[in-house]
Structure 1
């Protein structure tokens, strides 16, 4: 096994194999099965070209040979830093083919993040574009090589300057490759926290393949389905839940959007016959607004919404505005995914994050002393299962805090279970505001603020205050209609609105700041640190 990887205990691993969750096939082997079944079918579409399964397999085979010629092989780590282009898929499949391990950096990452990832993974290579959205990745590569000695190779898609070009790699002659053990680490995802540097999440071929197939089954995704990657494909949701890899492994079609704006994706939805996509709540609401003036038929689509709390008011707004099927999702790169189901009553979709996708997902809600709590009581969500990691990569000290001694992962999320076993996410442990002696869930207040008709998006943060511990500050983004009407929104109006909804007085906000957009981390989560840091400037705009 890869040094720094924490495996499942042998008896647990054998149980998962016997149950059929782990099939013993690498991700590349599973893709090759789709190639055999659909060689001439379009596998992937990006802004510049369409590729069939056979063409994508050939590209991957040639890049794999080129990587081997560079001396990159089994268990070597490569920072993969490509945006939503078909080359992302061919490189990813090539890396899988030789048993190397991609570190999936996000397009918005820059020197600090990439050097951290390269150093943490002890990466031997960096692979990125020449330029993307005006940023020169070749200069970034020079900085990374100067700071991280392990990075011996740089491969660039496009004008490679002094580096190796991806086109040159793709000109190598394919060769027979040794089989890859499905129990080995396949890829390193990034943790999605809003503070600190990302941690590396090791996912094996076996566990990630199960993740993909289980998500495909729950969402009704099959060979006739079309997945739109609206968000960056290195993100877990767009990659494997079921994501673009799900499309390739079941014989469907992956559509890689250059950006998630309605101007770009609405025509793609119509032209490519998109059936499935995943969005964060803010983007779902933005699409809903845009659909009022840019007609688009989403009646045949399934929309997975997750990453942050999707309030009942927001669910109803999106469902009625886009007229699509909505699945409320809770998912973490570390593993556990819960879903409402396509046949669930609307009340379940509006108020819960559904149930786990695997019968052997173990979840429990605990108090600060790790005592299990009954249904209806909020505590921290803990989980373990056949696709939930047992430890971050090469992070023994952090793992002692993040995992229990019997292998449960501490998600850091506040949740409760309904009487029938559905999960309701209530917020984050670290997103609790201490206000006049009481604890206030920021996400609870956000959910009430979002019910106000003129509010499109909202975030609540705590601001230190010696007199009351922390002040409750709410940042809101107005709807397009409210902005067009030059509508103003006062703190008093919001306080009265949410108080009338029955919220306790100690949960009412102390400050209101109207902003054009909420800042977000590279994985789409609201960046509350940025909101706190820029609060005074925003108030005086």
Structure 2
């Protein structure tokens, strides 16, 4: 196999696996009874690639995709990888304002979308953005609010004025010959941008992260290698495809090693466990909140998870107690943690399946092959010794090409020596294993003391009735900031503010004990499961303003 870090495109990667393991299952949708072998999957991707070419889409043109984890998502990912369009992932929870921003900022010429999810009707959103659609011909849209947008394609059974039907677009692909597709695919370069991911918005307005074939293929291959993936493995993927967790740590990690992708269209702990049992999955991905709800279901309803071996818990800090429970109760003895961010495609470090459990629950592993990691002093940028906290920086094949049309933001994120400054705080030991201690912007400064929310969160997880906890800083006239904990209790638990404070007393430093404690049923999150701490901080400030005696806030 070619050196995957710099000499192969996404389309070539699929062709390699389809050539080596043509009859191995590639994609399975249990709820739809869809099963593609690698050869069938390759053929379907080729067909869609030719259809996109028939629409007139050129190499490097931006295609926005707004849909949950439906079969067309996975097919489009690799079809674009073959014909060179830049697949621009759209968060499925976006509303009209956010969708308009992404389409305009990305210069997307084509939007492919499904009917919607939950309370979001994508068809209505599209007509609100482009009322001109109702009187326009296919491919000749002249949208006042989105002048670059020309093609709208609907995935579904209904027809809509001015919008291409998916089946009609597929039929158009017959106009393109196999040789034309081969020529297009051969013209692509590994350094071409092939995917654009928008930052999740936990710290500000989304930025378009430009990711190349090299970024994605190399990262997917390394991730799969760390998990020991092979043709006999079957990965259950319930995480969203519009995020790197789904379309890199999930699908690309699988295709790199001819592993089977078992897809979940929208997360449900019961559906995940049913799929694991029915399809005899050997691996399962998820963010901590997903695993927490799966463990809750297993307490009430038995599912056979004995085939599970590995998988990734990532997307937000992974509580040690949850990791241990997944190992013990879900048979995932080789579960690993991946740390990174979208700008790193996304993996930077990872634990390995043969690492001792203690390392796999207390660190986020060491650098992936081909990736350098260092810890620097946030104040002066100088590298710090092992065991000293600082900002995590990464350099290698996986670092993004930049933010789309944002050169100043790109320069702020990647220094002149090619180091990506993550904004995350961590400590690296003498063996290269990294422990995350927080984000620079999450750091609480109380009376001159630096407090890192992660440390307090890990401690509060040890309280038997605590299901989940998030810690933020809120303003204080006396100390500058105070610690506020948002605690989610296990079902049926009755716990008071004083119970929590008494538990903390004598076990952690007094200045780290939360001044304010608020019991909640859940947290504001992005669609890929990241808790939006800036929203929790806003909630905390509002709660404090409602109570004169804030010490008794519950």
* 8 A contact 1:381–1:413 mirrored in 2: yes
Asked if 1:507 is matched to 2:515, the reply is no
Farther-moved stretch of structure 1 (212-221 vs 289-298): 289-298
Residue from 213, 228, 244 that aligns with 1:220: 228
Residue 165 of structure 1 is matched in structure 2 by 165
Given that residues 201 and 334 in structure 1 are in contact (C-alpha distance below 8 angstroms), is that contact kept between their aligned partners in structure 2?
yes
Counterpart position of 1:526: 531
**Residues 160-207 of structure 1: CA distance to partner in whole angstroms, max 9, x if unpaired?**
412001111112315222212222111112223403222112111122
Q: Deviations over 1:409-444 (max 9, x none)?
A: 110000011122111110100001122332211111
- Aligned with 1:506: secondary structure? helix
Q: How does 1:44-63 map to 2 (within 5 A)?
A: 44-46=27-29, 47-48=31-32, 49-63=34-48
Instruction: Please state how far the C-alpha of 1:511 moved relative to its aligned partner.
Output: 1.0
Kindly indicate whether the alpha-carbon contact (under 8 Å) linking 1:21 and 1:386 is maintained by their aligned counterparts in 2: no
Q: What is the DSSP-based 3-state SS (H/G/I as helix, E as strand, rest coil) of the residue aligned with 1:384?
A: strand
Corresponding residue for 2:83? 98
SS at match of 2:459: helix
The 3 A distance-change label for structure 1 pair 90 and 337 is same
Q: Supply the distance in 1 between the matched residues of 2:300 and 2:364 (Cα, whole angstroms).
A: 30
Distance 1:427 1:413 in 2: 6
Q: Secondary structure at the match of 1:170?
A: helix
Structure 1 position 261, deviation (Å): 2.0
**Counterpart contact for 1:230–1:256, Cα < 8 Å:** yes
Written as runs of structure 1 = structure 2, the 5 A alignment for 1:105-124 is 105-124=90-109
* Counterpart contact for 1:365–1:415, Cα < 8 Å: no
Q: 1:431–1:360: structure 2 CA closer, same or farther, 3 Å change rule?
A: closer
Shift in Å, 1:294 = 1.9
Offset, 1:42: 2.8
Indicate yes or no: 2:496 matched with 1:490: yes
Residue 380 of structure 1: which of 391, 400, 403 is its match? Answer: 391
Give the count of matched residue pairs.
517
Structure 2 equivalent of residue 396 of structure 1: 407
2:149 to 129, 133, 151: 151
1:138/1:160 contact within 8 Å kept: no
Alignment-derived partner of residue 467 in structure 1 = 478
Quick one: distance in 2 between partners of 1:74 and 1:260?
Answer: 33
Could you tell me which residue of structure 2 aligns to residue 516 of structure 1? Answer: 521
Task: State the distance in 1 between where 2:3 and 2:265 align.
Answer: 37
In the other structure, the counterpart of 2:329 is 321
Query: Aligned equivalents of 1:255 and 1:89: distance in 2?
Result: 11
- Listed as ranges, the gaps of 5+ residues in structure 1 are 1-16
The match for 1:9 is none
CA contact (8 A) 2:4 2:221 kept: no
SS of the residue aligned with 2:299?
coil
1:250 aligns to what? Answer: 257
The one-character-per-residue Cα deviations of 1:270-307 (angstroms, maximum 9, x if unpaired) are: 11111122211222222222211122233433131112
Give CA deviations for 1:315-361 in whole Å, capped at 9, x if unaligned.
22332232312212212222242111111112211211110111442
* Residue in structure 2 matched with residue 208 of structure 1 by the alignment: 216
Shift of 1:134: 4.8
Which of 35, 38, 48 lines up with 2:18 in the alignment?
A: 35
Q: How far apart, CA to CA, are the structure 1 residues paired with 2:122 and 2:71?
A: 18
Check conservation: 1:361, 1:386, Cα contact below 8 A: no
Question: Which is further off, 422-431 or 467-476?
Answer: 467-476
Q: Does 1:262 align with 2:262?
A: no
What TM-score do you get using the length of structure 1 for normalisation? 0.90
* Structure 1 residues 365 and 285: CA distance shift in structure 2, 3 A: farther
| Segment of structure 1 superposing worse, 316-325 or 521-530 | 316-325
1:235-314 to 2 correspondences below 5 Å: 235-241=243-249, 243-299=250-306, 300-314=308-322
Aligned-pair CA distance for 1:390? 4.8
Matched, 1:420 2:431: yes
What's the offset of the Cα at 1:402? 1.4
User: What corresponds to 2:461 in structure 1?
Assistant: 450
Aligned to 1:24: 7
8 Å Cα contact 2:224-2:256 kept in structure 1: no
State the distance in 1 between where 2:362 and 2:24 align: 40
Contact 1:366 1:381 in 2 (8 A): no
Contact residue 390 and residue 403 of structure 1 kept, 8 A = no
Query: Does the 8 Å CA contact 1:365/1:372 hold for their aligned counterparts?
Result: yes
Would the alpha carbon gap of residues 144 and 368 (structure 1) be closer, same or farther in structure 2, given more than 3 Å must change?
Answer: farther
1 CA distance for matches of 2:330 and 2:504?
A: 26
Instruction: State TM-score, norm by structure 2.
Output: 0.88
Match of residue 381 from structure 2: 370
Q: 2:126 aligns with which of 135, 141, 144?
A: 141
Structure 1 position 132 matched with structure 2 position 117? yes
Q: Is the 8 A contact 2:26 2:258 kept in 1?
A: yes
Does residue 187 of structure 2 align to residue 188 of structure 1?
no
Establish whether residue 65 from structure 1 lines up as the match of residue 57 from structure 2. no
Q: Which residue of 1 aligns with 2:550?
A: none
Query: What is the distance in 2 between the residues matched to 1:298 and 1:363?
Result: 38
What is the distance in 2 between the residues matched to 1:143 and 1:518? 30
Q: Are the aligned partners of 2:348 and 2:394 in contact in 1 as well (CA < 8 Å)?
A: no
